[in-house]
Amino acid sequence: MSGRSSSAALFARGRNSIPDGVNSPLRSFQLVGGDPLAAREARGSRVIDVDGKEYVDFLNGFGALILGHAHPEVADAIGQQAKRGTSYGLSTEAEYELAERIVASTSAIEAIRFVCSGTEAVMTATRIARSHTGRNLILKFRGSYHGHSDALLASPLNLQQGESSLKSVSRGITHNANRDVLLAEYNDEEEVAKIFSEHGDSIAAVLVEPHSTNMGFVKSRPGFIKSLRDITHQYGALLIFDEVVSGFRFNFGGVSNLFGIDPDLTTFGKIIGGGTPVGAFAGKALYLSQVAAGGGVFQSGTFAGNPLTTAAGIATLKVLSRPGFYDQLEAKGAWVEQQLTSGFAGHRIPFRVSRVGSVLGIAFRDSSEPLKDYRDVKTQDYETFTRFHRRLRDAGFLLAPSLEEPIFLSAAHTDADLRAFTEATVDALRELYSAVAG
């Protein structure tokens, strides 16, 4: 790959003061190899690295940039606010306006509070659930990611090997935190029912992405989310939708609007901040009242509801609310899905495309069945994906540096961008799969 020298030099420099030279692990590109990229600037659908190479961006800030980079209305809103101050330690009218817009967007929501990240949002939502129910256990799903707080990185103790042998994704998680988490397979109603039959009286909440965006892209099966709503009602547990990625991605508001299912609590992030740091937890006033003074659940943050964030968020939601916005995104997603599917069929590439709206995933495996859970995800051909990622990077297309992250389309992608991307994808996989099959 040409023009690596400045990026490579920057990351070498960064490693002197920052672990791996990055402040978030996937930026190191360790899962796909090659030198990581350092961005210089971005506009619309394009990112330009420090060596001047331009990429059509399908990473899109891991889904945060639904409008693309440096959208003029968002950039102007941030700039105007910066002239008035970047942080006050006081409330602002913009906080209330952004809150009102989000509450009005989603039938399941009566109140909201802002934080600075999705991690904080989900961490606080689970704390509220434990407070409200007086229970400790949280049920989540294998392969899902809900931020890096202790409780949400925890996994049950491996009791067969003794309590010192943990299956956590991170060291440093206490034994008590691991005892407070239960795991089920995504889309597996029977396993969820079995867990509730054994632990239902101790489960505070079920935490779920309505469609899983951290296993590549795994759609929830018909009836699965409703089964979670039914069983949580039956046992008096809360249902928490993690919409940090899906909120305002598929429709204006929470995807719960499309499902016709009201969760008790919902978390947001990414899109509602217009590309600035943001998180929010929301839901019925009964539950949100617990973080009010005297409510018993503590949460605070110096930069929560930051003026730059609320300015960017309001500007973004104004654009998203315009007639036809999501119809146009749907049309782009449908076209990309059709082109990839027909291209794969034409070259006997056995990979399958999954899509909802502007989020897509390619299952790198020989199967006509869509991915349904994390066991399926791990059957994929990670080596071929690594070569594919490098091939597309060389051709000027930026994808998430992990097979377990989806492809994000944005409003900024042009027809030419999408045509070039689908052609490059089919060509690369035709060559790579032929080499593997041969």
DSSP state of 289: G
Phi and psi of 437, rounded to 5°?
-70, -35
Specify the fold of 5-70+324-437: Aspartate Aminotransferase, domain 1 (3.90.1150)
Give the N- to C-terminal CA distance of the chain in Å, as an integer: 26
DSSP-assigned states of every residue in 228-268: HHHHHHHHT-EEEEEETTTTTTSSSS-THHHHT---SEEEE
- pLDDT tens-digit readout, 74-131: 999 999 999 999 999 999 999 999 999 999 999 999 999 999 999 999 999 999 999 9
The structure tokens listed for 421 are: 């991307």
Neighbours of 348 (CB within 10 A): 10
Quote the pTM value: 0.94
Phi and psi of 196, rounded to 5°?
-65, -35
What pLDDT score does 167 carry? 56
Give kind and range of the element (H or E) at residue 111.
strand 111-115
More reliable by pLDDT, 378 or 162: 378
Q: Are 6 and 51 in contact (CB under 8 A)?
A: yes
Mean pLDDT of the chain: 93
Q: What does the alpha-carbon distance between residue 360 and residue 407 come to, in Å, rounded to a whole number?
A: 5
- pLDDT tens-digit readout, 52-80: 999 999 999 999 999 999 999 999 999 99
Relative to beta strand 352-356, strand 397-398 is unpaired
The structure tokens listed for 4 are: 């690596």
Q: What does the alpha-carbon distance between residue 96 and residue 112 come to, in Å, rounded to a whole number?
A: 10
The structure tokens listed for 181 are: 């988490």
Q: Are 115 and 304 in contact (CB under 8 A)?
A: yes
User: Is the model's pLDDT at 162 over the cut of 70?
Assistant: no
Cβ-Cβ contacts under 8 Å for 164 (sequence gap 6 or more): none
Q: Are 410 and 359 in contact (CB under 8 A)?
A: no
User: Is the model's pLDDT at 163 over the cut of 70?
Assistant: no
**% of the chain beyond a pLDDT of 90:** 84
Per domain, the residue ranges of the chain are 5-70+324-437, 72-320
What pLDDT score does 3 carry? 46
Bridge partners of 44? 69
Rounded mean pLDDT, 200-222: 95
Q: What does the alpha-carbon distance between residue 31 and residue 118 come to, in Å, rounded to a whole number?
A: 23
CATH 3.40.640.10, domain 72-320, yes or no: yes
Rounded mean pLDDT, 198-212: 97
Q: What does the alpha-carbon distance between residue 407 and residue 387 come to, in Å, rounded to a whole number?
A: 17
Q: How many CA atoms lie within 13 A of 50 on its CB side?
A: 13
Query: Which residues belong to the active site?
Result: 145, 242, 270
Best CA proximity match to 288, nearest among 137, 128, 131: 128
What pLDDT score does 433 carry? 84
**% of the chain beyond a pLDDT of 70:** 95
- pLDDT tens-digit readout, 391-407: 999 999 999 999 999 99
User: Is the model's pLDDT at 270 over the cut of 60?
Assistant: yes
Phi and psi of 122, rounded to 5°?
-70, -40
What pLDDT score does 46 carry? 98
